[in-house]
C-alpha cells in the first residue's frame, strides 16, 4: 500500500512540474497543454513504461531453450520468493548490471547484461537476481519505471524550452532567463525525486535478496565485483538516459556532467557491510 501512495505522490509531483514548465513557457494555455500532456504521460507510464525501457536497452527475451541456466535460476528464485514467473531478458552489453521492471508482480520482467553473466559466478549471479526479484516482491518496480520514464520526459521538455523558449498569453516572448532556469531546474527536480525513493529501497532489496537466495555473502561479493568492473566499463544507454540509472543494481553512471545528479544508490561499502553482518548473525532465513 505504501508504494501505491509513493507512486501517486510521484506522479502528482511530476505532473506539477509539467504544469510549472508549461506555465513558464506559455502562460495559461501552456499550463493547460502541459496538464493534458502530463495526464497522457501518467497513463502511458503506468501501462507501457516497462516496454519502453526494455526497448531502450535493446533487451532480448530469453526462455528455457535459449538461456537455460539463467532462465532456470530465475525460475527457482521466483518459486522461493513465491512470485509469478517474470519475463526474462538479456542485454548485449559488457558492463555488468541488472534491473527489474513492470507494473506489478504479475507483469514483471528481469533483465541482466551479458557482461554480468560473464563476470559473476553462478552463486553471485543468483544473489543479484534474488535482489531484483525482491524489487518485484516489494512492488518497487512500478515507481522506479514510472519515475525513469517521466523524468526523461521532463528533461526532454526542459531542453526543448532552452531551444524554443516560450510566449505569454499575448504572444510575446517570455524572459529567456526563465527558459534557462526551467532547463536547469526541471531535470534536477526530477532527479531529486528519484533519489528520494531509491536509496532506502536498495538496502531493503539487498536484505530481501539475501533472504531469498539464502546467501548474503554471495550478494556482497557480487556487489563488490560489479562495482570494480562497472568503473571501467560504461553502459552507453544509461549514459544517454541517466534517469534509468536508479533501476540498476549498481549505479552505472560515470558521474561526468549532469549524469552525476542522478546518483541514486547508497555506497557499495555500506551495502556490503550490511550483508556481511547478516551473514555473521545468520539473520537471513526465508
- Give me the mean pLDDT over the 133-147 stretch: 83
Average pLDDT of span 134-152: 78
Q: Where are the domains of the chain?
A: 2-281
Question: Does the annotation count 239 as an active-site position?
Answer: no
Q: List beta partners, residue 101.
A: 109
Which of 121, 285, 133, 118 has its CA nearest to residue 215?
Answer: 285
Q: Are 257 and 239 in contact (CB under 8 A)?
A: no
- Claim: this prediction has a pTM higher than 0.95: no
176-197 burial, b at 16+ Cβ within 10 Å, e below that, comes to: eeebeebbeebbebbbebbeeb
Q: Which of 132, 202, 217, 243 is catalytic?
A: 132
The residue ranking higher by pLDDT, 258 or 149, is 149
Q: How far is CA 166 from CA 31, 38, 159, 189, 210, in A?
A: 12, 18, 12, 20, 51
Highest mean pLDDT among 11-25, 161-175, 241-255: 241-255
pLDDT tens by residue, 48-100: 778 989 999 999 999 999 999 999 999 999 999 999 999 999 999 999 999 99
For 189, the grid coordinates are 527536480
Q: Alpha helices of 138-252 — where are they, by DSSP H? A: 140-164, 176-213, 216-232, 236-240
Which is higher by pLDDT, 260 or 239?
239
Mean pLDDT of the chain: 81
- In angstroms, the first-to-last Cα distance of the chain is 22
C-alpha cell at 169: 498569453
Amino acid at each position: 500500500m505504501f508504494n501505491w501512495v509513493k507512486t501517486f505522490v510521484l506522479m502528482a509531483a511530476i505532473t506539477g512540474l509539467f504544469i510549472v514548465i508549461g506555465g513558464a513557457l506559455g502562460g495559461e494555455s501552456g499550463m493547460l497543454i502541459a496538464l493534458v500532456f502530463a495526464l497522457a504521460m501518467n497513463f502511458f507510464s503506468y501501462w507501457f513504461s516497462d516496454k519502453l525501457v526494455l526497448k531502450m536497452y535493446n533487451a532480448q527475451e530469453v526462455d528455457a531453450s535459449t538461456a537455460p541456466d539463467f532462465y532456470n535460476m530465475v525460475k527457482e528464485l521466483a518459486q522461493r520468493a513465491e512470485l509469478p514467473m517474470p519475463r526474462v531478458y538479456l542485454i548485449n552489453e559488457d558492463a555488468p548490471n541488472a534491473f527489474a521492471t513492470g507494473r506489478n508482480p504479475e507483469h514483471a520482467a528481469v533483465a541482466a547484461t551479458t557482461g554480468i553473466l560473464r563476470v559473476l559466478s553462478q552463486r553471485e549471479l543468483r544473489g543479484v537476481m534474488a535482489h531484483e526479484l525482491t524489487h518485484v516482491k516489494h512492488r518497487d518496480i512500478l515507481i522506479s519505471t514510472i519515475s525513469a520514464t517521466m523524468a526523461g520526459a521532463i528533461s526532454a521538455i526542459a531542453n526543448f524550452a532552452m531551444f524554443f523558449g516560450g510566449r505569454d498569453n499575448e504572444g510575446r516572448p517570455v524572459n529567456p532567463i526563465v527558459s534557462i532556469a526551467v532547463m536547469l531546474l526541471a531535470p534536477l527536480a526530477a532527479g531529486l525525486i528519484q533519489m528520494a525513493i531509491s536509496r532506502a529501497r536498495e538496502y531493503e532489496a539487498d536484505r530481501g535478496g539475501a533472504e531469498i537466495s539464502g546467501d548474503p555473502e554471495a550478494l556482497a561479493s557480487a556487489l563488490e565485483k560489479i562495482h570494480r568492473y562497472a568503473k571501467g566499463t560504461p553502459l552507453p544507454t544509461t549514459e544517454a538516459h541517466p534517469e534509468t540509472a536508479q533501476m540498476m543494481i549498481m549505479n552505472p553512471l560515470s558521474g561526468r556532467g549532469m549524469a552525476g545528479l542522478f546518483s541514486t544508490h547508497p555506497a557499495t561499502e555500506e551495502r556490503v557491510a550490511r550483508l556481511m553482518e547478516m551473514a555473521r548473525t545468520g539473520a537471513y532465513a526465508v
